[in-house]
Structure 1
């Protein structure tokens, strides 16, 4: 039989065996980071395409609704219509791309957040990897709730800022400045609601304890109010309190979750103190010497009975 008639077996590339110690070289870390970043960028591009197509089908109307809902005497438009002004030829194109990119980042956030957490999980223990789905779901939900709260309070805050100029002043806002203001407010609220989740994540991996959060509760609440005062683009008390109030509540929920997790972790550690040891391993006992007279023994009672000092007859002579 000729060599041409022989079929050569195909060589398949096998994945390298997984290291049980979860150790990786620097090249492996960089390769993993490159793959995760590439997948995140792919989801971000797809989300941007969706945002670009959604721009004319409700996205722009959704962003301009708080401004258009204001009283007509605040807007300088003779026909009573609600329109934003663009002062540049390429301003409309750049504005659409900017809004599409931000909308794409929000739409694809569950996917690139999963890639971020998947890059971190190899360095975690097995019981810590199960929080991946919960972390992605909770972070996406909190960001959406923060953005929704910002959108609901946007009209009141915008009306308060515009009415401070007086009744003789009417506004003609540009699309770039107004939409940039709205997007920055939505993103600020969304990211701010993620901070309590970071505290919970640090507690779950054992970095931040409940006692630390309990001792720092007052400082956390105070710094939350200061943070809301600096982060809110409107700088008005109404928007600041709208951000600080839910954040304080979320931080209190995070502290109580840390309390439950630490209490459960302490009970598990007390129940499984010696269960993980092999038969050949030494128990973690205290090897320091102790004093012999630290505790009474049965021989002390016998010695006390035989002592002549305790005999009443002997004491009377």
Structure 2
């Protein structure tokens, strides 16, 4: 089918926009489907990994602690959710690229370079945050089970436990994207490094509040294990912004005045 001609200003007609949206949505859906199929295949080892913190807590306390599938369809429902969750994570580079490919025609050359850099940094940073949450999960489960009275059992609802783990992983993954946004906004000239540095106290406070929310325990070690890396990344991103601002200021001073 021939492409619809653009107007003199280079803007894409509405009909072509709708066709492009449909194409990108279909490709994103196919990527999620492939990731979900992989999640379905890997469900058993993934479920074993999810249950391992509970098994460790049960062994340490010598108590009955495990997952409770409290419905006829709970097992199959949990398998579908786990598969979709893993599909979203595995296919993140693909659907992030599709979003960029949709907005790409409306960006300048400089903006495209920034977005490419964002994509290259966002995926590993998101995965790093997810890995941190996964590493802290056993300690969180252990501390929470310390509140179970002696002789008591803790049969955790499978759906509730899965929702808790998903929230923890997604929240930490998204939190690790904040430094990437900071650098991109600085590269685009929107926010100077001094602005980020001036708000460091608020950044530290928000980081620890965030860690306290996603790890609802009295364990200080777990809270510092999440808040510490987030604060460190904030200051690293601020340092990168300072280096960029210094280069920009030098170019401005060296540029001839017209």
Report the TM-score, using the length of structure 2 for normalisation: 0.87
Q: Which residue, 184, 209, 213 being the options, matches 1:201?
A: 184
1:88 is matched with: 71
Confirm whether residue 40 of structure 1 aligns to residue 23 of structure 2: no
- For the structure 1 residues 31 and 75, does the alpha-carbon distance in structure 2 shift closer, same or farther, using more than 3 Å as the test? farther
The answer to whether the 8 Å contact 1:114/1:132 transfers is no
Shift of 1:156: 1.4
| SS of equivalent residue, structure 1 residue 84 | strand
**Structure 2 vs 1, CA of residues 87 and 14 (structure 1 numbering), >3 Å: closer, same or farther?**
closer
Instruction: Check if 1:13 corresponds to 2:7.
Output: no
Aligned residue for 2:189, secondary structure, equals coil
Corresponding residue number in structure 2 for 1:242 = 225
Task: Name the residue aligned to 1:69.
Answer: 56
- CA shift for structure 1 position 30: 4.0
**Greater share of helix residues, 1 or 2?**
2
Alpha-carbon distance, 1:182 to partner: 1.8
Q: Retained in 2: the 8 A contact 1:157–1:238?
A: no
Contact 1:188 1:232 (8 Å CA) reproduced: no
Residue 252 of structure 1 corresponds to: 235
Q: What is the TM-score of this pair, normalised by structure 1?
A: 0.72
Larger Rg: 1
Indicate how the Cα distance of structure 1 residues 273 and 165 shifts in structure 2: closer, same or farther if over 3 A, else same.
farther
CA RMSD of aligned residues (A): 2.6
Structure 1 distance, partners of 2:96, 2:47, is 26
Change (3 A) 1:262 1:25: farther
Deviation at 1:272, TM superposition (A): 4.7
Q: Distance in 2 between matches of 1:195 and 1:16?
A: 39
1:19-58 superposed matches below 5 A = 23-56=11-44, 58=45
The structure, 1 or 2, with the larger RCO (C-alpha pairs under 8 Å, 6+ apart) is 2
Report how many aligned residue pairs link the two structures. Answer: 257
- Cα-to-partner distance string for 1:173-192 (whole Å, 9 max, x where unaligned): 23222222222212221111
Q: Which runs of 5+ in 2 are unaligned?
A: none
Asked if 1 retains the 8 angstrom alpha-carbon contact of 2:6 and 2:13, the reply is: no
In 1, Cα distance between equivalents of 2:10 and 2:252: 23
CA distance in 2, matches of 1:265, 1:26: 38
The secondary structure found in structure 1 opposite 2:195 is helix
